[in-house]
């Protein structure tokens, strides 16, 4: 049986459970779009390639399964690269497909002539030009398995139009080889961790995104609670603690500070976390071990004596630090104006326990991580990731709705971050990808502005103009609400979460960061 290479690719995608593809139409994609449409695959259209890529990587981060996006050639690839890079930083599985001009014309100055595979390669696990139609399924299989193999990450296929259109007999189609599974739990690593932890007096577990992806977060929390060891997660990493836990003591590495446990610990266990700038590159001289897998086995090895005094001290420090954050907020408050902390308090009051929370923005992100994540940090909450990117939120919220049609979805965004891809509110509304967005608007790139004030006495290119976000939302087909009084935020949020559709709640706030004067 003969089919076009694009048709074979769509069939392979469907076999992997893919029923939608985020995209922005353009040169190089027509054969693929035609094959997808005829096969009943949903095309989620966007107004910016960034958003298409954010949908794919956001879906990958939320589900652990690759999200798929497709764009045209040339500059479209550069636009999509932002989302690909975010997946690269955060070890999220995604498949990015780019189209191009016909294969014989590449390198001759064809329309949007660019080595797209080479451009994407440095920030992907696999990036190849499909130059043989018979290999399209084989290269897709390789890419897909590579995206899913730990450490997960983005993969890319550049497929010229003539390759997409080429007819291939099923008998001539090459199939992929199975990539060996990653090594499982190492008994030696578990035993080594047990020996070190038994000897430690003030151990600290730092749990990062890869532990979330491995599915061992619950086992780690159970171990930490039984052994009385505090757990922190680097800011912007994925959480592993869906419920209040006595062992979880918040985030580490925030620009606005943390309880300072790392400096006073005598042993650090890295669990799916990177020893990067958020941990001071772990240049403290403390004993450091790594255990990414095997937390259930560690918990079952023996009855662990609880190091209760250290855990109690860690919890006390967390409580005192949160109190200082609140004191800072009250010092920044202006009479009659709403502060970021009022938005955070309303979210904590109203957001259902199973709700997906997306956090997009520098300043408001600091407030959210310091206060909302002080006792629990579910893996179904989605921060920006290790890249620290802003502007992913609308695409991420669309991904969250695709990932789970029933779960409440709330995007908390700063005003600067929200405007990156704000036009895609129209795409979300039109395509039934409902969510609620709260825009905390201080008319400023707040986190940078505060830093400038401390260092230079003035902000430089940090202040923004006024935008009526509620009116803007309505002009783009969404619901728009403006809330000026802090006591009205929770009610507006509760109403919006129950209404369906896309709703933007515009909350003008007083500027300021946690820990800033």
Residue 170 pLDDT > 70: yes
Residue 517 pLDDT > 70: no
491 shares its domain with 413 = yes
250 shares its domain with 366 = no
Reported as a pLDDT band with limits 50, 70 and 90, residue 377 is: very high
CA distance 67 to 94: 5
436 shares its domain with 355 = yes
Reported as a pLDDT band with limits 50, 70 and 90, residue 63 is: very high
Confirm whether 326 is domain-assigned: no
Q: Which of 256, 286, 317 lies at the terminal end of a domain, its last residue?
A: 317
> Could you report the per-residue pLDDT of 203-236, keeping only the tens digit for each?
999 999 999 998 999 999 999 999 999 999 999 9
> Could you report the per-residue pLDDT of 250-269, keeping only the tens digit for each?
999 988 889 999 999 999 99
CA distance 480 to 496: 10
Quick one: average pLDDT of 338-355? 96
Residue 231 structural domain: 187-317
Helix (H, G, I), strand (E, B) or coil at 441: strand
141 shares its domain with 42 = yes
313 shares its domain with 341 = no
CA distance 343 to 359: 12
Confirm whether 20 is domain-assigned: yes
Residue 516 pLDDT > 70: no
377 shares its domain with 416 = yes
Residue 306 pLDDT > 90: no
Q: Which of 289, 317, 345 lies at the terminal end of a domain, its last residue?
A: 317
Quote the distance between the C-alpha of residue 168 and its chain's center: 38
Reported as a pLDDT band with limits 50, 70 and 90, residue 300 is: confident
Beta strands 20-23 and 67-71, pairing class: parallel
9 shares its domain with 143 = yes
- What pLDDT is stored for residue 182 in this prediction? 59
Dump the DSSP string for 193-261: HHHHHHH-SSEEEEE-HHHHHHT-HHHHHHHHHHHT--EEEETTSPP-B-S--SSEEEEES-TT----H
CA distances from 295 to 182, 321, 417 (A): 17, 29, 37
113 shares its domain with 213 = no
Residue 393 pLDDT > 70: yes
Confirm whether 515 is domain-assigned: no
Domain of residue 235, CATH code: 3.40.50.1220
401 shares its domain with 490 = yes
| Nearest in space to 401 (alpha carbons), one of 474, 498, 473, 502 | 502
418 shares its domain with 485 = yes
* Number of domains the chain contains: 3
Residue 21 pLDDT > 70: yes
Quick one: average pLDDT of 298-315? 82
249 shares its domain with 206 = yes
Which range, of 118-127, 147-156, 447-456, averages the lowest pLDDT?
A: 447-456
Quick one: average pLDDT of 137-163? 96
Which range, of 301-310, 331-340, 476-485, 486-495, averages the lowest pLDDT?
A: 301-310
Residue 307 pLDDT > 80: no
Mean pLDDT (the chain, rounded): 93
- What pLDDT is stored for residue 133 in this prediction? 96
- What pLDDT is stored for residue 447 in this prediction? 87
Residue 106 pLDDT > 90: no
Q: Which of 317, 345, 361 lies at the terminal end of a domain, its last residue?
A: 317
Q: What is the pTM of this model?
A: 0.95
278 shares its domain with 149 = no
């Amino acid at each position: 049986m003969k089919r076009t290479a694009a048709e074979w690719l769509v069939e392979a995608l469907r076999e992997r459970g893919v029923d939608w593809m985020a995209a922005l139409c353009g040169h190089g994609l027509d054969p693929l779009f035609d094959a997808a449409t005829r096969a009943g695959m949903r095309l989620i259209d966007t107004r910016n390639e960034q958003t298409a890529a954010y949908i794919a990587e956001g879906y990958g981060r939320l589900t652990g399964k690759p999200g798929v996006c497709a764009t045209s050639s040339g500059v479209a690839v550069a636009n999509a690269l932002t989302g690909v890079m975010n997946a690269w930083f955060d070890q999220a599985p995604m498949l990015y497909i780019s189209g191009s001009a016909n294969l014989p014309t590449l390198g001759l100055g064809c329309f949007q002539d660019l080595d797209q595979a080479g451009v994407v390669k440095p920030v992907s696990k696999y990036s190849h030009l499909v130059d043989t139609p018979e290999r399209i399924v084989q290269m897709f299989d390789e890419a897909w398995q590579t995206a899913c193999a730990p450490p997960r990450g983005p993969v890319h296929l550049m497929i010229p139009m003539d390759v997409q259109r080429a007819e291939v007999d099923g008998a001539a189609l090459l199939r992929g080889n199975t990539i060996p599974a990653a090594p499982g739990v190492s008994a030696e690593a578990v035993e080594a961790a047990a020996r070190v932890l038994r000897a430690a007096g003030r151990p600290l577990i730092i749990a990062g995104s890869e532990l979330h992806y491995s599915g061992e977060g619950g086992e780690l929390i159970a171990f930490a609670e039984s052994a009385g060891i505090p757990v922190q997660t680097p800011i912007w990493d994925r959480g592993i603690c869906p419920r209040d836990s006595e062992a979880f003591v918040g985030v580490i590495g925030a620009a606005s500070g943390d309880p300072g446990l790392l400096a006073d610990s005598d042993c650090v266990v890295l669990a799916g976390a990177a020893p990067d700038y958020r941990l001071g590159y772990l240049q403290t001289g403390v004993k450091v071990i790594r255990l990414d897998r095997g937390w259930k086995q560690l918990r079952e090895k023996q009855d662990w004596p609880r190091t209760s005094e250290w855990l109690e001290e860690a919890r006390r420090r967390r409580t005192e630090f949160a109190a200082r954050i609140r004191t800072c907020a009250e010092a920044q408050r202006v009479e009659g104006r709403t502060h970021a902390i009022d938005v955070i308090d309303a979210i904590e009051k109203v957001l259902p326990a199973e709700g997906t929370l997306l956090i997009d923005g520098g300043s408001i992100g600091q407030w959210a991580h310091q206060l909302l994540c002080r006792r629990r940090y579910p893996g179904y909450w989605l921060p920006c990731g290790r890249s620290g990117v802003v502007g992913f939120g609308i695409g991420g919220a669309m991904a969250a709705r695709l990932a789970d049609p029933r779960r409440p979805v709330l995007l908390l965004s700063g005003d600067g971050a929200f405007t990156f891809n704000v036009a895609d509110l129209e795409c979300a509304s039109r395509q039934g990808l409902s969510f609620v967005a709260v825009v905390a608007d201080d008319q400023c790139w707040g986190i940078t502005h505060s830093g400038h004030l401390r260092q230079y006495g003035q902000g430089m290119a940090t202040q923004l103009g006024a935008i009526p976000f509620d009116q803007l939302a309505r002009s783009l087909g969404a619901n728009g609400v403006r809330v000026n009084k802090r006591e009205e935020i929770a009610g507006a949020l509760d109403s919006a979460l129950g209404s369906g559709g896309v709703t933007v709640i515009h909350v003008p706030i007083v500027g300021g960061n946690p820990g800033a004067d």
